[in-house]
């Protein structure tokens, strides 16, 4: 009889150990990883803002004189040739409209979003990690905001997407601010 009781205890000990391990408090990183799964983001539109890059003025009168001489020599050499318009360098910024929402039992103070730019053939052209403060983000409702990507090499046909990456591999968590900030509770 004693042998049966010992056998039952021996069988129950591993089960008890597993139960206790499951009830043990999770690390901050594990909790953040779980809470991130309750967040979603999507691009709802974008606007390309293009403007010419201003040329810097010449520093001295001597340089201006040299430029004038060069201009005259070029004009004399090209006499009769049609004038070519100088190429103007354009700086392009992209305003990306994003809808972010969550259904989390506990809010994160902020979340890192991954924005990706693809060409017309859906090949990646660029990526950005964007920190968004979510302290005041209401549950389930969602919030629309605009994030400005500066100096983007945009070409007609390019597109943008956004995601709350999950899971984030442990070796990349240093790039995601929420993993380094302690959670309340």
Count of domains forming the chain: 1
Rounded Cα gap, residues 174 and 133, in angstroms: 17
Per-residue pLDDT tens over the stretch 167-184: 999 999 999 999 998 887
| Range(s) of the domain holding residue 121 | 27-53+91-179
Q: Kindly state whether residue 22 falls inside one of the protein's structural domains.
A: no
Q: Kindly state whether residue 86 falls inside one of the protein's structural domains.
A: no
Q: Kindly state whether residue 10 falls inside one of the protein's structural domains.
A: no
The pTM is what?
0.70
Q: Kindly state whether residue 142 falls inside one of the protein's structural domains.
A: yes
Q: Kindly state whether residue 117 falls inside one of the protein's structural domains.
A: yes
CATH number at residue 151: 2.60.40
pLDDT in tens, the chain (185 residues): 566 656 555 554 455 444 444 554 589 999 999 999 999 999 999 999 999 987 655 555 566 655 555 566 555 555 655 666 678 889 999 999 999 999 999 999 999 999 999 999 999 999 999 999 999 999 998 899 999 999 999 999 999 999 999 999 999 999 999 999 888 76
Q: What is residue 151's predicted lDDT score, i.e. its pLDDT? A: 96
Q: Kindly state whether residue 131 falls inside one of the protein's structural domains.
A: yes
Q: Kindly state whether residue 122 falls inside one of the protein's structural domains.
A: yes
Q: Kindly state whether residue 58 falls inside one of the protein's structural domains.
A: no
């Amino acid at each position: 009889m004693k042998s049966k009781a010992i056998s039952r205890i021996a069988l129950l000990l591993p089960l008890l150990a597993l139960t206790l391990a499951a009830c043990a408090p999770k690390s901050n990183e594990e909790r953040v990883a779980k809470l991130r799964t309750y967040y979603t983001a999507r691009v709802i539109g974008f606007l390309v803002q293009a403007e010419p890059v201003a040329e810097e003025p010449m520093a001295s009168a001597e340089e201006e004189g040299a430029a004038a001489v060069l201009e005259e020599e070029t004009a004399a050499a090209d006499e009769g040739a049609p004038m070519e318009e100088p190429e103007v360098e354009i700086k392009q910024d992209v305003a990306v409209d994003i809808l972010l929402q969550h259904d989390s039992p506990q809010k994160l103070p902020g979340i890192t979003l991954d924005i990706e730019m693809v060409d017309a053939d859906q090949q990646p052209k660029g990526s950005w990690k964007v920190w968004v403060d979510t302290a005041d983000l209401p549950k389930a409702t969602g919030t629309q905001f605009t994030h400005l990507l500066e100096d983007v090499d945009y070409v007609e046909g390019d597109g943008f997407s956004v995601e709350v990456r999950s899971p984030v591999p442990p070796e990349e968590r240093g790039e995601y601010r929420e993993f380094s900030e302690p959670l309340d509770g």
